[in-house]
Structures are given as C-alpha cells and as structure tokens.
Copies of this chain bind each other. A is one copy, B any other.
Amino acid sequence: MSDPCLPECGVARFLALLNGPWATLIVRELLHGPLRFNELRQLLPGISPHTLTSRLRQFERHGIVTRTTYAEIPPRVVYELTPLGEGLRDVLEAMGAWAMAVPDPGAEVTA
C-alpha cells in the first residue's frame, strides 16, 4: 500500500512511482493541463474513483502533482503536474514513439 522507501534502481523506482497502467494514463491526461477529479474520471473510462484517488494522493506525496482547492460554491479542486511531474513528458513521449514502431500482429489476422 505505502511506499516507505523507493527502490535504488531507477527503472524499479519508476515502476514504484507509476504503478499500474492507470498511473501513467493519469499523467498522460494531466500533461494537457490541470484537471478536476471528475474530468479525469471522464477522460479515463473504466477507472474506479478509489484507484484515481489513490494514484492522485500518491502523486501528491511524491511531489508529482499539486491539489489546489478554490473556495467557490461548490468548491473546485484542481490537479496539476508540478515541474517534476512535467518531467514525465519526455518519458511518455519515448514510450509512445517506441510503441508506435511495434507492428500490430492482431491487425493482420482475421480471426
């Protein structure tokens, strides 16, 4: 549940910080700009509120995301990447560029 100590190895540390596919997809959405909780939910069909809350809290704890509450009625809560979180842009771009070079075996067969 918690992550008392991050791994020494950079790759393992990355996997501990962005654990599970949803974490990376949340970052992908936030790279477009700040978002509210329900906006994130709508952009990520299938994510449970529990998972989204858990990942956002983990991101806050590690300084990847800030959570800002605006004293409006009703109150507005906005999640935004910090400069540290913005640093993930290069990583996600590298992921995407590599993955798009992988041929899709499923696209060739008609099964």
Contact = CB atoms under 8 A, between A and B. Distances in A.
Given A62-B105, A102-B63, A96 B13 contact: yes
Interface stretch (A16-24, A49-57, A72-80): A16-24
A5 B10 CA distance: 31
Interface in A2-37: 2-6, 9-15, 17, 19, 21, 24-25, 28
Contact of A6 (B6, B17, B24, B104): B104
Q: How large is the interface on A (under 10, 10 to 19, 20 to 34, 35 or more residues)?
A: 35 or more
Given A63-B102, A87-B98, A15 B21 contact: yes
Nearest to A105: B61
A87 B95 CA distance: 10
A87 B101 contact: yes
